[in-house]
Structure 1
């Protein structure tokens, strides 16, 4: 199975959202089938075959997640991030300000789904191959 260290090595190559599809391919090759990242501190739970899972440590001090979700603001910030105009931490701060609590990535379906604090789907995106 994979380790958090292997995943972190792959993640070190990600500088902007434009690098995300390559990162997904790299961790998929490690055996990751899904993961869930929490915006408040960027800790992530990774899932593999046969109910295998591991958790990463928080990556920064906790952010306050806005109680009211602003989907339009979030989508505008996501677009900037995907164009390579913001770094990861800036994107996480933007998510928090827009009320995004977490995202879940399904590497079999190649989707990334963003959720608010009430666990409502805000956006489901297909991940480019």
Structure 2
């Protein structure tokens, strides 16, 4: 199974975001970046390989300025099962998140949500 197939399998079998992060890390993903407008994801592997998953929908409009409380609310809604991934992406776009970076290696595993004028960082359990 190639790394692209391993990524897809990780998403299919994950039961939660922490589980997904663990599965991606186990297959060698060190980090990945998601472009909020397009949904494009760049995966970076420990061995230097990069895999790009192109977004497959119309570009989202991103709010001009970053709003940390709206970002936190979007994250909590998703964690509590109140939103699916497309809704989550729309909510963080409305909060001004231009992209987010998930760091899956090292002692400080985290997701950093970044927009104009601010960012919010959350640890991955």
| TM-score calculated relative to the size of structure 1 | 0.85
The residue matched to 1:12 in structure 2 has which SS?
helix
Deviations along 1:43-97, one digit per CA (max 9) or x if unpaired, are 1111112432111111322101111222212211211111111100000000111
Match of 2:71 in 1: 74
Give 5+ residue unaligned stretches, structure 2: none
Shift in Å, 1:13: 4.0
What corresponds to 2:112 in structure 1? 113
Sort the Cα spacing of 1:121 and 1:3 in 2 relative to 1 into closer, same or farther, 3 A.
farther
Cα distance, 1:30 vs structure 2? 0.7
The Cα RMSD (Å) is 1.9
Give the length in aligned residue pairs: 123
Question: Structure 1: any 5+ residue segments left out of the alignment?
Answer: none
Question: Residue in 2 aligned with 1:41?
Answer: 38
Give the conservation status (yes or no) of the 8 Å contact 2:37–2:59: yes
SS of residue paired to 1:77: helix
1:85 equivalent in alignment to 2:79: no
Distance 2:84 2:110 in 1: 21
SS at match of 1:35: strand
Residue aligning to 1:122? 119
1:23 Cα shift? 0.5
